[in-house]
């Protein structure tokens, strides 16, 4: 843990500069607008330890796989989100001395991430060796109204100066990924164009030829009057800067406005990139920083009206949940179905910026509840567009006839992860993709998705399960051998309960959806059947047989589901008995010891009970929770939220709150000692769900909205807003009552603590 940030309801605040926290702060104070994003690096030079990071959604590099022992079927590459050209840079020279926070004396350092309006601000006082001093305030944002635009206002107040200040804004494409497998740089220069105060650097990526134009336009004011001093250009390969020198005296104020536009060949013709960037910069400078910022801040305020959670009586908790919501909204805006959500978003290189099952299992419900329906639909369409590759991927592993195995990790639909126990064995991801279709449909009521896209995916996934099971002559049942479940601390196990359960559910759900589409949209069904050569009699017949006869491991004595065959052979010792010095076990123990232990990395059986809670009675959920929770070490950030929701359902209120605390400030207080690598973006959606589904008890059942709220004793009150089928509904919970506000212009029906209520348009209802 590292608790150095101040508590505040709307801002993340760091006071005082400690270089040891720099990498962590660079992650925490990251900015993004769904299309471009960056770590909170400094504008001016910084020679201390830093991880430079600018990222562009969808622009990646297929870095040649590096493994010790090659296995057939491994992908050729591991996709990396590229560290993109740096556009924030502004070198500052005071006299001959460089402003570098690792070298000058700093006072009053303050860094603020304002989540309400979506900007980063930094201020400090810097004193140079000759006692000259300046005060700097730097504000920047990545526009969410114009997603190719970033803006900086960098202001220097001369405290004690009689000298020249040199300002050197630059663009630098000579950047490297820290995680490059062969220490190789991934960018090649294509073109540089410039004129005073303006520059356009086009670079392309190696191998995949993504073209990106990074451009800047700047102006400089001295005491509020624009100055037009001579610009001295410095060009080298993949780099361009322009120097302007200004004579300064004490109390002078120099203001630099730097606008950057990032245009790329995924969105523009590659010949038009400079023109598009130029147009963006022209319109940006016409509007000016203040107007651009007002538009951006207003758009953020609007986002908050459909996604905020308010907590009264716990500032740290309030800050934590808003940070999670803010980061999710910065990472994915859902206006482009080619994009997705990497576990680290735009905040670091780990996980390569690629898509994992996290999106379907965790993130989708967040966007369903807080955004327009199309946002969640685009997440599903992303996988629909990747279906041919998923079929190809399954083909490489020996499956046939249209069976699809979605990749565990992907950028473009191809598998790009190369640990055999994950790549080949963590096949439960296919289940999450089917579950997301179900989740979307039951939430939105949009049945057309299944007819137009969903069923095709479901059939392909079911074809995979039907080939992946085998019939055990010994058990006289279908089994699934050699898998890794969600708990990655077990590999190559047989009959992982979660995997077998979700496989059975997928087959059953697909069969039901076939019947539905057959009846409700026969023409579409016929077309699909022909397109994918679906042999209903043969294939559906086999699926029914598997549904009826798949082995689901259970232990009769303990009356629980068995995580996998043989789980009870392990020595079962609750995790609380572990020496705290030995935790996290993934950093302290050998892999072999972890595999043999009973410790569970993340929700596994409990993940299944969370997905399918309606299939089990409360006693069953309780028995399994009571058995598996004490063995779970929650060493994946995705884990505690699922346990929170189940604990809340079971009435374990204290435990639910304790588990929730692990997720809410995971990154802000650096629980896992790794925030320097980037934030845990996908698990942030789980944190949101911990409140809405955990404490708020929100569920959708038969198309109806249920709440079963309680107030954690540590809070005075909390409220959340959800969008459900186009209606905005706010739920406020105190100890005495729950108030449901219908913010829609039609009557709504809700079910609270099992009782039906209807609420007129724009009215509220108090339930005691």
- Known catalytic residues? 488
Q: Phi-psi bin for 162: left (phi > 0), alpha (psi -120 to 50), beta?
A: beta
Nearer to ligand BGC, 638 or 691 (CB): 638
Nearer to ligand BGC, 358 or 732 (CB): 358
Nearer to ligand BGC, 238 or 601 (CB): 601
Cβ contacts of 118 within 8 Å, gap of 6 or more: 31, 141, 142, 144, 296, 297, 299, 300, 326, 330
Q: Which of 638, 641, 721, 750 binds ligand BGC (CB under 6 A)?
A: 638
Nearest-CB residue for ligand BGC: 343
The sign of the dihedral angle between the CA atoms of 440, 446, 450, 452 is: negative
Residues touching ligand BGC, count (CB under 6 A): 12
> How many residues does this entry show for the chain?
768
Are 329 and 32 spatial neighbours (Cβ–Cβ below 8 Å)?
no
Closest approach of Cβ 583 to ligand BGC, in Å?
A: 16
- The phi and psi torsions of 224 (rounded to 5 degrees) equal 70, 10
Nearer to ligand BGC, 112 or 361 (CB): 361
Q: Phi-psi bin for 599: left (phi > 0), alpha (psi -120 to 50), beta?
A: beta
Name the H helices within 419-489.
420-423, 429-444, 448-449, 455-468
CA triplet 400, 403, 409: central angle to 5 degrees?
A: 115
- Measured between alpha carbons, how far is 251 from 248 in angstroms, rounded to an integer? 9
Closest approach of Cβ 639 to ligand BGC, in Å?
A: 8
Binding mask 35-74 for ligand BGC (x = CB under 6 A): ----------------------------------------
Asked if residue 636 binds ligand BGC (CB under 6 A), the reply is yes
576-611 b/e with 16+ CB inside 10 Å = b?
eebeeeeebbbeebeeeebeebbbbbbbbbbbbbbb
Binding mask 348-367 for ligand BGC (x = CB under 6 A): ---x----xxx---------
Q: Which of 644, 682, 690, 719 binds ligand BGC (CB under 6 A)?
A: 682
Please give the DSSP secondary-structure letter assigned to residue 483: B
- Measured between alpha carbons, how far is 567 from 361 in angstroms, rounded to an integer? 25
Asked if residue 343 binds ligand BGC (CB under 6 A), the reply is yes
Binding mask 279-318 for ligand BGC (x = CB under 6 A): ----------------------------------------
Closest approach of Cβ 487 to ligand BGC, in Å?
A: 8
Nearer to ligand BGC, 146 or 354 (CB): 354
Nearer to ligand BGC, 638 or 659 (CB): 638
Closest approach of Cβ 500 to ligand BGC, in Å?
A: 18
Asked if residue 319 binds ligand BGC (CB under 6 A), the reply is no
Q: Which of 43, 63, 172, 488 binds ligand BGC (CB under 6 A)?
A: 488
Closest approach of Cβ 595 to ligand BGC, in Å?
A: 14
- Measured between alpha carbons, how far is 314 from 217 in angstroms, rounded to an integer? 43
Q: Where does 331-398 show beta strands of DSSP type E?
A: none
Cβ contacts of 85 within 8 Å, gap of 6 or more: 54, 171, 172, 173, 175, 187, 201, 203, 212, 214, 238
Strands 239-249 and 162-172: antiparallel
Asked if residue 415 binds ligand BGC (CB under 6 A), the reply is no
- Enter the tokens of residue 337: 């179905």
Closest approach of Cβ 351 to ligand BGC, in Å?
A: 6
Nearer to ligand BGC, 490 or 693 (CB): 490
Nearer to ligand BGC, 357 or 589 (CB): 357
Alpha-carbon distances, residue 143 vs 153, 302, 760 (angstroms): 14, 14, 37
Asked if residue 603 binds ligand BGC (CB under 6 A), the reply is no
Closest approach of Cβ 409 to ligand BGC, in Å?
A: 8
Map the footprint of ligand BGC across residues 563-602, applying CB under 6 A: 601-602
Binding site for ligand BGC (CB under 6 A): 343, 351, 356-358, 486, 488, 601-602, 636, 638, 682
């Amino acid at each position: 843990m590292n608790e150095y940030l101040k508590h505040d309801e709307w801002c993340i605040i760091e006071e005082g500069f400690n270089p040891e926290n720099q990498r962590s702060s660079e992650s925490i104070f990251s900015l993004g607008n769904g299309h471009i994003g960056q770590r909170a690096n400094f504008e001016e030079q910084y020679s201390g330890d830093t991880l430079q990071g600018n990222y562009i959604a969808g622009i990646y590099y297929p870095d040649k796989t590096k493994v010790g022992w090659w296995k057939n079927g491994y992908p050729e590459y591991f996709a990396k989100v590229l560290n993109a050209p740096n556009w924030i840079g502004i070198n500052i020279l005071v006299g001959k001395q460089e402003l570098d926070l690792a070298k000058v004396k700093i006072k009053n350092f303050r860094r603020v991430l304002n989540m309400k309006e979506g900007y980063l601000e930094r201020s400090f006082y810097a004193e140079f060796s000759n006692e000259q001093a300046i005060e700097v305030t730097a504000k920047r944002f990545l526009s969410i109204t114009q997603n190719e635009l970033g803006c900086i206002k960098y202001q220097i107040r001369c405290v004690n100066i009689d000298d020249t200040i040199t300002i050197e804004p630059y663009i630098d494409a000579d950047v490297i990924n820290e995680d490059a497998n062969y220490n190789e740089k991934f960018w090649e220069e294509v073109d540089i164009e410039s004129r005073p105060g303006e520059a356009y650097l086009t670079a392309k990526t190696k191998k995949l030829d993504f073209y990106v134009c990074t451009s800047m336009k700047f102006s400089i004011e001295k005491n509020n009057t624009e100055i037009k001093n001579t610009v001295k250009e410095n060009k080298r390969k993949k780099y361009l800067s322009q120097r302007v020198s200004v004579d300064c005296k004490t109390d002078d104020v120099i203001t630099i406005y730097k606008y950057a536009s990032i245009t790329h060949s995924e969105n523009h013709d590659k010949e038009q990139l400079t023109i598009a960037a130029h147009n963006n910069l022209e319109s940006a400078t016409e509007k000016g920083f203040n107007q651009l910022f007002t538009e951006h801040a207003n758009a953020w305020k609007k986002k908050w009206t459909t996604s905020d959670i308010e907590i009264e009586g716990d500032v740290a908790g309030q800050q934590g949940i808003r940070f999670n919501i803010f980061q999710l909204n910065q990472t994915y805006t859902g206006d482009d179905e080619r994009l997705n959500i990497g576990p680290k978003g735009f905040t670091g290189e780990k996980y390569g910026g690629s898509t994992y099952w996290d999106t379907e299992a965790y993130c989708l419900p967040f966007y369903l509840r807080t955004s327009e329906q199309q946002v969640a639909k685009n997440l599903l369409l992303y996988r629909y567009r990747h279906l041919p590759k998923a079929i190809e991927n399954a083909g490489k592993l020996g499956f046939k006839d249209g069976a699809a195995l979605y990749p565990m990790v992907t950028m473009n639909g191809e598998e790009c992860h190369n640990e055999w126990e994950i790549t080949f064995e963590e096949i439960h991801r296919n289940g999450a993709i089917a579950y997301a279709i179900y989740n979307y449909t039951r939430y939105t009521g949009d049945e057309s998705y299944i007819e137009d896209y969903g069923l095709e995916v479901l059939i392909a996934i079911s074809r995979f399960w039907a080939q992946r099971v085998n019939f055990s002559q010994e058990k006289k049942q279908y089994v699934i051998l050699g898998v890794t479940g969600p708990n990655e601390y077990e590999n190559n196990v047989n009959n992982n309960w979660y995997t077998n359960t979700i496989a059975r559910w997928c087959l059953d759900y697909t069969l039901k959806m076939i019947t539905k589409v057959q009846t409700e949209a026969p023409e579409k069904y016929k077309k699909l059947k022909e397109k994918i050569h679906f042999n209903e009699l043969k294939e559906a017949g086999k699926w029914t047989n598997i549904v009826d006869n798949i082995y689901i491991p259970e232990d009769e004595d303990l009356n629980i589901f068995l995580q996998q065959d043989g789980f009870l052979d392990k020595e079962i010792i609750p995790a609380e008995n572990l020496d705290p010095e030995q935790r996290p076990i993934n950093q302290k123990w050998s892999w072999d010891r972890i595999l043999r232990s009973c410790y569970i990395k993340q929700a596994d059986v409990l993940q299944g009970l969370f997905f399918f809670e309606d299939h089990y009675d409360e006693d069953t959920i309780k028995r399994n929770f009571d058995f598996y929770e004490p063995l779970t070490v929650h060493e994946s950030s995705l884990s505690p939220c699922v346990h929170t929701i189940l604990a809340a359902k079971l009435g374990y209120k204290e435990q639910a709150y304790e588990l929730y605390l692990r997720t809410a400030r995971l990154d802000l207080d650096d629980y896992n000692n790794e925030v320097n690598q980037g934030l845990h973006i996908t698990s942030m959606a789980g944190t949101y769900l911990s409140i809405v589904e955990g404490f708020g008890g929100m569920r959708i059942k038969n198309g109806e909205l249920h709440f079963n709220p309680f107030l954690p004793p540590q809070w005075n009150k909390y409220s959340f807003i959800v969008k459900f089928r186009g209606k905005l509904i706010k739920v406020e919970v105190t100890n005495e009552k729950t108030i449901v506000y219908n913010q829609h212009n039609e009557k709504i029906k809700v079910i609270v603590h099992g009782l039906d209520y209807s609420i007129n348009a724009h009215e509220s209802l108090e339930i005691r």
